[in-house]
Every structure is written in C-alpha cells, then in structure tokens.
Amino acid sequence: PTGSLLYPYGPHQGDETNPKHDDGTSEAITLSIPFTFYGKTYQTVFVNNNGVISFNEPIRQYTPDPFPLADGSPFVAPYWADVDNVLGGDIFYRQTTAPALLEDISHDITKYFPKKPFTATWALVATWDHVAYYGSTSEKGNTFQAVLTTDSKMFYIILNYWDIQWTTGAASDGDAETGLGGTPAHAGFNSGDDTHFYKIPGSQTDAIINITTTSNVKVPGRWVFRVDDFQVTGVDPSQLNNNCWL
C-alpha cells in the first residue's frame, strides 16, 4: 500500500532488499553523509529485519527490551519486534539525494519545526513492507518506515506507521494466530548510554497496535524527532496518560 504518509519505496525506487532470514539484517551500510545521533556521529548503519536501525553493529534480538539497554547499543526502533520476512513481507532501504524526495522531506520537517528552516541534503529511507511475525499462522503484516535525514547541521528521524496489524511474535509469548499478547513491540530511541533514551507512548503494551493513530506532529501515524542533540517535540509528558497526545 502507498499513501501520503509513506515516502516512495521499493525496487523501482532503487531500494536494496534485505535477505529472507528470520532475525536477519542488511549488510553494513556505509553512509555517504555521517549521521549524528544523541551527540555521537556514525558512519555505518544496519537495517535489521526486527524493526531496528542500528549504528555500527547489527541487532538480531527479537524480543524487545525496555530502554535504556544494558548492552549500550545505539539504535532507532521504528517497531522492534520479531519480524519474520521468510513468512511474508520485504524490508527495503536506500540512501538518496533525489531532489524530489528531499524537497518533500524538507517541506515536511520545516512544517513541523518552523523556527529552524531545513533543507535536506541526504536521506536514508528504510521500509518494512507488510512484514509477518515469527510463528505466524495468519496473513497479518505490518507496514512502517523510518527516514534518517540531515542538512549536515541538523539531524532528524521521521517514523511513519501505515498499517500495523500485529505486535508480538510467537517466541515473545505472542499468539500465533493473532500476533498479539506476550511482550509487544517497542518504538523509540536508545542512545547507547544509561540515561538518554525515548520510548513512544504505548511501547511494550498492547496499545502499540494503535501507533497508526498517534503522532507528535499532528499527523496520525507519523512521529518526527530531531536526534543530533535529541529533543522530544510536541509531546507534553504530563498529558501522555490522558490520551491528549493524539
């Protein structure tokens, strides 16, 4: 499915496709523009099948842990859960400097962060397209996307949730038929130190299934963060328990 929420993706966009391996990962992706995340700059990322983009090292773990992670892995978790693309779906990624896409991304970020005009010079687009969960006996699939982008001064991540039908793989105590229960998916950011992390509300609870309806930029299903010096924007922590953050 394509909609206004997802930026264009797929082989016809020049995307690479991850191998079909449970708990698999992309090859090491050397970034043409180094990416600054929580004050540290990285030149290598991995797009991991289990809904994580990690810096320096791949992540094969399939049951999500709470943040901060004890092992100090710096990563972005668009939707960390037990994906099995052997059973269904594809994971795509590309680095791009295509003017039309960068113009769209620049327009969106400037709309959400109007005080700091932003003209993207590079983006990494990673898309999980109708991916199945481990142990699935259903046709359920999740479609979501993460975009890393920069103007070489500011660094942003856009998370797009288009269609979320399951939260949990069967090895994480999820139900094989429904893909629900057990230890549900985790969405957010882990800096790699013990103190700096962010979890999107609903993470690791059954409510994460509703992430397509939530946002911090008033666009249901889209969360946008400035991550070079990580800032949570548009979410008032005191409101999170009152469902006023939609």
Give the β-pairing of 142-150 and 155-163: antiparallel
Give pLDDT, residue 21: 82
> Domain limits at 135?
11-226
Q: Could you list the pLDDT tens digit for every one of the 246 residues in the chain? A: 445 799 999 999 999 999 898 888 999 999 999 999 999 999 999 999 999 999 999 998 989 999 989 888 999 999 999 999 999 999 999 999 999 999 999 999 999 999 999 999 999 999 999 999 999 999 999 999 999 999 999 999 999 999 999 999 999 999 999 999 999 999 999 999 988 999 999 999 999 999 999 999 999 999 999 999 887 766 554 444 434 344
| pTM listed for this prediction | 0.93
User: Among 74, 17, 9, which Cα is nearest to 228's?
Assistant: 74
Structural domain includes residue 231: no
Structural domain includes residue 3: no
Give pLDDT, residue 1: 47
Query: Is the dihedral angle over the CA atoms 103, 106, 112, 113 positive or is it negative?
Result: negative
Structural domain includes residue 233: no
Give pLDDT, residue 67: 92
Structural domain includes residue 95: yes
What is the domain count for the chain? Answer: 1
Structural domain includes residue 124: yes
Structural domain includes residue 190: yes
Give pLDDT, residue 4: 73
Give pLDDT, residue 242: 39
Structural domain includes residue 21: yes
| Three-state secondary structure string covering the chain | CCCCCCCCCCHHHCCEECCCCCCCECCCEEEEEEEEECCEEEEEEEEECCCEEEECCCCCCCCCCCCCCCCCCCEEEEEECCECCCCCCEEEEEEECCHHHHHHHHHHHHHHCCCCCCCCCEEEEEEEEEECECCCCCCCCEEEEEEEEECCCCEEEEEEEEECCCCCCHHHCECCCCCCECCCCEEEEECCCCCCEEECCCCCCHHHHHHHHCCCCCCCCEEEEECCCCECCCCCHHHHHHCCCC
Give pLDDT, residue 232: 75
> Which positions ≥6 away from 137 have C-beta within 8 Å?
176, 177
Structural domain includes residue 100: yes
